[in-house]
Structure 1
Amino acid sequence: MTDTPGTGTAAGEALSAYLQDQATEFLRSLRLHRESTTDAQGAEESLAAAHSLRRAARRIGATLHTFRPLLDPEWSASLRPELSWLSGTLAQEHAYATRLHRLLEALHRLSGSAPVPGPATEPATTAVTAAGRRGWARPPVPGGDSGGSAPRGLTVGAAKAAALLERQLTLARTRAHSTALQAFGSSRFHAVADNVAVLASEVPLTGAQDDLKHLTATAEADLNEAVAALPLGQAGHPYNAGALVHGLASDTAPDAQDAPWLKVRSLLRLHRYALELLLDHAPPAPRIADASHALNVHREAAAAAAAAAQAARTPRIAPATAYALGVLHADQRHEVEAARFAFQQAWLYEAVSTR
């Protein structure tokens, strides 16, 4: 009797093939990154290669976590945190670039000032895109994109607020770039690359009989448990003033509110990658894709709000600048609530549509 897909010997073969594909992509991206030139085109190629390398590292790490009963435990337990370190290190430069672009675009929208140029890396889309798929757009912010004119204080402070954010986030991006370059030259990175190179030719399986479907179902159960802990009833109100007030209450309140949503984002990513393996790279269901997009926007908006709040704490800034940064912080927390609403609509859409 032959094994069905996802069970027995077939499970080990499918897992090995997936990990070897990702390891090969990792090594290919690393080669492209090393071969990229120092001119403008080379810089773009280097960024694209780093993105692909980070993407492969995330998938390898997630697969080692979800399907760990099938893999050598000591080997996978030692490699997973190293892949997480690498992925996180390489993500920072892109994160600061997209965060700055998001904040400058929001200042333009709120104040009616001149539009800002895009960053070198592709900016993330806003929560409106995900929410719009469910027939809803982000509630308007007074003085912003609702059609009215911006308050004079906001118009006056927006330019200086933009300059301050650009200085702070460009400096952070430059430091992140330097950190990534140092990481590429470190013995720690070379050890990771060596392990991935071995993985490209041989996957250390244990021979355990757990099947892929069972382990994928376990990842889905963990996700559903985390989603059940979210305040989805509250998130289902598009004009969620109560939650927004809590998000603006203090420095620590947003972090406490955001943590469960960030946990769901991580678990949803694990679930997506497990399905990618199980279904042989089939595209995710619209519900999963929309929910993932909403949680990505949630994280970006929350980080942007924190950056605006941090800039507002800069000593001796003008009152008009502080005011503009305060409005910007509130706007991004509004985007956080919009993303939660979009996630709620995406996650529950399938259940509602089948009634």
Structure 2
Amino acid sequence: MAQQHLDPTDPTAGPVPADALTGYLRAQATEFLRALRLHRETGAGAAGSEGSVEAARALRRAARRISASLHTFQPVLDPEWSEAMRPELAWVSGTLALEHACAARLERLLLALHRLSGAATAFPDQGMTGGGAATTGRTAGGANGAAATVPATVADGAPGTAATATEAVRATAGRGGGTAGAARAARTSAGAATVASAVDRGNLTVGAAKAGALLDRQLTLARTRAHSTALQALGSSRFHAVADKVAVLASEVPLAPAASAADLAPLAAAARERLADAVAALPLLTAGSPYNAEALIHGLSPDPSPHPQDAPWHQVRLLLRLHRYAREVLQAGAGGEPPADVRLLAAGEALDRHRDASEAAAAAAQAARTPRIAPATAYALGVLHADQRHEVEAARYAFQRSWQKDVVGTL
């Protein structure tokens, strides 16, 4: 497949001196120090304000940009300093991101449970769970009398399947006696499909409350631990050493001896080419289908390792971020704000959704491995896992659409 140049109208196509990188790094270091001061002023305890949350985000943003610039433009920087600085900034960014990731993952999963269960509330009252399932069965069953009993049985914990529902409908149709055989067969077929759907909905409604409570316990605990880890990290001597180095960076950027004659444009172009190569290796033809069932083959595997198809997409997301930050450096050298690239923004958003859905599916699968959970809870978690894996496929499809939409006319 032909690859389109990522920046066909790049205004920074000419040589870009190392001074652009110096100014960019100083600006990001200043943002880091400003966010750190705001974080300390607004408080970082358990009852931290919204200002402290925004300050933590600003810290992560500045740390990511500094680390990415050190990676992309390493040849023009002091090698010993940059090699020592990059992993420390990655540690800061990753540590501060854990709490936000746990909170966002929990919110995503609970909203998905609410959507999938179709309940009036995200978590039905456990004392009313059986009645709610029976009500769902009566509503879905309509005039068929057998439809009201099958979901109620499932709500009590009995194994409910489409075959069980079909047998119940057939027994009811057989007792009718006065109806013609053809009409009875037609009603049996239609009733079986209706009751099978009601069984699934009843199982999901019953299990959604307990699945939501289980996810809430696990992810809230993970968030609490991440918050404690972040507080310990921000108070550690390791972080103070990083902050001191960033403070020095705000006034002086350690450059390599040959930096005065260096050109940043080829280094940014190399980052762009790495991204293009990684995208070319993705199965975009498969992702071109809005429903890629082949990608779900390993979705319910008992193997707790990450999904085998996700790693290349996560790598593309990181390379896309490096490319975006390199463009910011070049544009800073041109003396202006980077122009909005709609395709890169859409592609980045799709890859962010891909990462979020992939991690949410992994969290649902991990919760489903909890020992001794009820069958209805495991069923709800399985449906939730499959839903998030379908969200992964939808994000891949959206990325494929945003990435290739301008290529069609050039093929």
Same fold (TM over 0.5): yes
Of the three residues 194, 207, 212, the one matched with 2:264 is 212
> 2:36 corresponds to which residue?
30
How well do the aligned residues superpose, as a CA RMSD in angstroms?
2.2
Structure 1 residues 42 and 254: alpha-carbon distance in aligned structure 2, compared to 1, 3 A threshold: closer
Structure 1 residues 299 and 21: alpha-carbon distance in aligned structure 2, compared to 1, 3 A threshold: same
Mapped pair 1:351 → 2:407: yes
Structure 1 residues 320 and 268: alpha-carbon distance in aligned structure 2, compared to 1, 3 A threshold: same
Mapped pair 1:336 → 2:392: yes
Structure 1 residues 65 and 308: alpha-carbon distance in aligned structure 2, compared to 1, 3 A threshold: same
> 2:224 corresponds to which residue?
174
Aligned-residue sequence identity (percent) comes to: 66
Of the three residues 254, 269, 279, the one matched with 1:227 is 279
Amino acid corresponding to residue 182 of structure 1 in structure 2: Q
Native 8 Å contact 2:18 2:76 kept in 1 = yes
Deviation at 1:11, TM superposition (A): 1.6
Of the three residues 222, 236, 243, the one matched with 1:186 is 236
> 1:156 corresponds to which residue?
206
Mapped pair 1:62 → 2:118: no
Deviation at 1:182, TM superposition (A): 0.1
Mapped pair 1:247 → 2:247: no
> 2:17 corresponds to which residue?
11
Structure-2-length-normalised TM-score: 0.74
> 1:302 corresponds to which residue?
358
Structure 1 residues 6 and 341: alpha-carbon distance in aligned structure 2, compared to 1, 3 A threshold: closer
- Which structure: larger Rg? 2
Mapped pair 1:199 → 2:252: no
Native 8 Å contact 2:347 2:403 kept in 1 = yes
> 2:288 corresponds to which residue?
236
> 2:194 corresponds to which residue?
none
Native 8 Å contact 1:105 1:115 kept in 2 = no
Native 8 Å contact 2:275 2:316 kept in 1 = yes
Q: How many residues align?
A: 321
Structure-1-length-normalised TM-score: 0.86
Mapped pair 1:46 → 2:52: yes
Q: Deviations over 1:224-261 (max 9, x none)?
A: 11111111110100011111223334536752210111
Amino acid corresponding to residue 310 of structure 2 in structure 1: D
> 2:313 corresponds to which residue?
261
Structure 1 residues 186 and 38: alpha-carbon distance in aligned structure 2, compared to 1, 3 A threshold: closer
Deviation at 1:19, TM superposition (A): 0.4
Structure 1 residues 115 and 81: alpha-carbon distance in aligned structure 2, compared to 1, 3 A threshold: farther
Alignment partners' CA distance in 2, 1:314 and 1:249: 15
Alignment partners' CA distance in 1, 2:281 and 2:300: 22
Of the three residues 252, 274, 277, the one matched with 2:329 is 277
Native 8 Å contact 1:232 1:344 kept in 2 = yes
Alignment partners' CA distance in 1, 2:44 and 2:94: 24
Of the three residues 96, 102, 106, the one matched with 1:100 is 106
Q: Deviations over 1:263-309 (max 9, x none)?
A: 11111110010011112331441110011111111111010000000
Unaligned runs of 5+ in 2: 1-10, 124-196
Q: Deviations over 1:25-82 (max 9, x none)?
A: 0000000000114799852111100000010000000000000111000000000000
Structure 1 residues 114 and 210: alpha-carbon distance in aligned structure 2, compared to 1, 3 A threshold: farther
Amino acid corresponding to residue 256 of structure 1 in structure 2: P
